[in-house]
Amino acid sequence: MVDPLYLVYAAPLAALWTGWWLHARRRTARAQAILADNVAAGLDQPASLHPVIDPSRCLGCGSCARACPEKTVIGIIDGKAALVEPTLCVGHGACQTACPTKAITLVFGTATRGVDIPVLSPDFETSVPGIYIAGELGGMGLIRNAIEQGRQAIGCIADRVRRGPPVADCHDVVIIGCGPAGIAASLGAIERKLDFVTVDQSSLGGTVAHFPRGKLVMTGPADLPLVGRVQFSEVSKEHLLSFWEDVLRRTGLAPRFGEQVLAIRPCGDAFEVETTRERLRARTVLLAIGRRGTPRALEVPGEDRPKVVYRLIDPAQYAGRRVLVVGGGDSALEAAAELAEQPGTTVTLSYRGAAFGRARARNRERVESAVQAGRIDLRLESRVVEIAADSVRLEHSGRRDDLANDDVVICAGGILPTGFLRQIGIEVETRFGNA
């Protein structure tokens, strides 16, 4: 006969164990579904710094998943942490800090896909003396680390300039990029009374400016020259960009936006930096650019028109307009779907492929739903051949159609800066799962 006292304790314990088991199975199924979706879409390779999890040390406590500001990057599968949204990982490193058993290592590249990282000295100098790199291009995606690198790099540059002989008609440094590293370096240049110019091919904020509206950004406390200690740790994209704009107003920093660097050449004891506006001479150069590189152009007539952009920032500004979105990845599908939700907007989505092979299922389903509802005109296996003032010309199966158009949003990816670095002569190493 079973002791009644045993049942008093056993029944609640059995209920708790059953509840935990069901929760664990649901959690595993959810994470497996996300991972399978990404594998099917070919989105299973992280782009840069990311965690590798040692299953022999992992307890499956989930502290890494909770610490990740991206929220869905890490999941728990069969009691062990796993990278389930690899392409969304931007190398914050919060997962490694949160892990109680040190089961996480941050690495560049995977066994099958290498990541190119420039070779740098402890002073952030490249293999080309006088050219320095700080921030995301050097592998540091976390904003607080990029700020610190920019601050330290400009200190090393100032020491070099101070030790070297003066060069006539020459800036001390040209800073390329106006993200966190570039801003910190520029403020440091003001503080150290350097003769400098800061240029950026796009706008203020670097990679952060490309984030979706409302996205939370993890920074961590950091020290900005002329400004002091920055205390916020997790803010929205808009808040952070507003903060940078305020920094520019308070310090008088005046970067030159919309100016792309075309080449960097040795010129005696200095460098010639050729931009889309002029040629600058500088004793040193600091590359503080992101890893996204330059947006990939379609290279068709009319692409230089003001109505053509390479990312969607605010869908609301396109309300009531006729918009063409070009591309077949997640960014293109998300842009088309968001534009289709604006009142009175006519959206056409053009993609050269027969199907969306590199986009997540949820984005494919969202676009399919909008197509069925008549909110998106989908043109698969088509390409843009010309962009006119109030129309665009698409080619499909040998036939060309002219569509009335007010705006064009091109989401065709970017050209990575590796070729640019090698052209300058900077040594680049490919890492396959290396810390």
Give the tens place of pLDDT for each residue, 127-155: 999 999 998 787 666 677 888 899 999 99
- For domain 116-293+417-431, say whether CATH 3.40.50.2300 is its number: no
Average pLDDT in the 374-388 region? 96
Confidence (pLDDT) at 325: 97
Q: Same fold for the domain at 4-107 and the one at 116-293+417-431?
A: no
Q: Which of the residue ranges 26-40, 96-110, 115-129, 184-198 has the most confident prediction, judged by mean pLDDT?
A: 184-198
Count Cα neighbours of 38 within 13 Å in the Cβ-side half-sphere.
Answer: 20
CATH number of 4-107: 3.30.70.20
Count Cα neighbours of 185 within 13 Å in the Cβ-side half-sphere.
Answer: 38
pLDDT at residue 383 is higher than 80: yes
Nearest 5 degrees, angle CA 276-CA 200-CA 383? 70
Q: What CATH superfamily is the domain 308-413?
A: FAD/NAD(P)-binding domain (3.50.50.60)
pLDDT at residue 295 is higher than 90: no
- Among 12-26, 64-78, 100-114, the range scoring the smallest mean pLDDT is 12-26
* Model confidence pLDDT, tens digit, residues 398-434: 899 999 999 999 998 877 788 888 999 999 888 776 6
Domain ranges (residues) in the chain? 4-107, 116-293+417-431, 308-413
Cα 292 from chain centroid? Answer: 6
Nearest to 48, CA basis, from 140, 125, 184 = 140
